[in-house]
């Protein structure tokens, strides 16, 4: 397939980032969300991101305008007609994603590939919710999408070789590196990363060290660019809790039990950077 037209569902942080990199790569993008205000906010975010690249001279003003011209927005799923690949980037909630995927499948052609940007949910289960499940695949982008160089490509039990090849082709055109993972909770990166962060929260909970010292220890002792608790705040503690709960349920193994402190922080509304308070405070 000569991939040219891509749909993106969800104009939040992940969705607008995916739309941005696709437009920069020359794809025509249809960005869909339930409200016009969310779409306008997304376009403003993309514009600011591109302005930073222009200021750094990694992008010309002409390239910025060309990329913005590649993105059209809509609140109607009917706008997806003609899409060759649609990427669902809704909130990490199974029921919501299933509803979104069914709306996508009702509008696109039978040979349009459908992908989910899930970080923990079963690709096989999601695929079963759409017609022609062999066209379904997981495309796990990492935040911030314009900066991070990796895409996890996850095959469900039904995913065809053709769909997999299309996903790898798209990743190459985006200038990203793709790794292929099997359909298990957390796939590869989060399977390793999130339990490590959960363990850091347990260390804090037990009073072994302060949040600052835990982060300093992992930065300076393991050469990580950001400490695990600061990373937790960046990801969002509610997102981390959802992933750990998916692991716990999916593997039925107590080693994936979420730290009680993580659950308590989420209950208090201390979700990290997006609320101004997590394991660290943010102005």
Q: Give the catalytic positions in this structure.
A: 119, 140, 152, 190
Q: Is 149 buried (19+), middle (13-18) or exposed (0-12) by CB count in 10 A?
A: exposed
Residue that the structure tokens 């793709």 belong to: 178
Neighbours of 209 (CB within 10 A): 14
Q: 131, 104 in Cβ contact below 8 A?
A: no
What is the separation of C-alpha 145 from the centre of its chain, rounded to a whole number of angstroms? 8
Residue given tokens 């390793």 in the structure block: 192
For 92, residues 6+ apart whose C-beta sits below 8 A from its C-beta are 118, 119, 120, 121, 239, 242, 243
Q: Where are the beta strands (DSSP E) in the chain?
A: 5-9, 28-32, 71-74, 85-88, 113-116, 136-141, 150-154, 177-181
Structure tokens at 51: 């302005």
Helix extents (H) in 25-110: 36-55, 61-69, 94-107
Enumerate long-range contacts of 37-45, CB under 8 Å, 24 or more apart. Answer: 38/11, 38/12, 39/11, 39/73, 39/74, 39/75, 40/73, 41/11, 42/11, 42/12, 42/15, 42/16, 42/73, 43/16, 43/68, 43/71, 43/73, 45/16
What per-residue string of b and e applies to 90-109 under the rule 16 or more CB within 10 Å gives b? bebebeebbebbebbbebbe
């Amino acid at each position: 397939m000569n991939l040219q037209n891509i749909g993106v569902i969800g104009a939040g942080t992940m969705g607008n980032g995916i739309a941005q990199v696709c437009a920069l790569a020359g794809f025509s993008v249809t960005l869909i969300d339930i409200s016009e205000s969310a779409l306008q906010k997304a376009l403003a975010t993309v514009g600011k991101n591109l302005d930073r690249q222009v200021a750094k001279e990694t992008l010309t003003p002409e390239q910025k305008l060309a990329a913005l011209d590649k993105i059209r927005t809509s609140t109607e799923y009917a706008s997806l007609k003609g899409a060759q690949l649609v990427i669902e980037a809704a909130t990490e909630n199974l029921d919501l994603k299933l509803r979104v995927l069914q709306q996508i499948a009702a509008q696109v052609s039978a040979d349009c590939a459908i992908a989910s940007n899930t970080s923990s949910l079963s690709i096989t289960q999601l695929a079963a919710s759409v017609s022609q499940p062999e066209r379904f695949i997981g495309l796990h982008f990492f935040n911030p999408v314009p900066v991070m160089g990796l895409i996890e490509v996850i095959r469900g039990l039904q995913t065809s070789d053709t769909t997999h090849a299309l996903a790898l082709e798209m990743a190459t055109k985006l200038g990203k590196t793709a790794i292929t993972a099997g359909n298990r909770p957390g796939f590869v990166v989060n399977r390793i990363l999130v339990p490590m962060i959960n363990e850091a929260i347990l260390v804090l909970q037990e009073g072994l060290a302060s949040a600052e010292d835990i982060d300093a220890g992992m930065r300076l002792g393991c050469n990580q660019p950001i400490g695990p608790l600061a990373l937790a705040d960046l990801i969002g503690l509610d997102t981390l809790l959802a992933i750990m709960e998916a692991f716990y349920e999916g593997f039925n193994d107590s080693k994936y039990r979420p730290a009680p402190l993580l659950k308590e922080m989420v209950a208090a509304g201390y979700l990290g950077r997006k609320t101004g308070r997590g394991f660290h405070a943010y102005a």
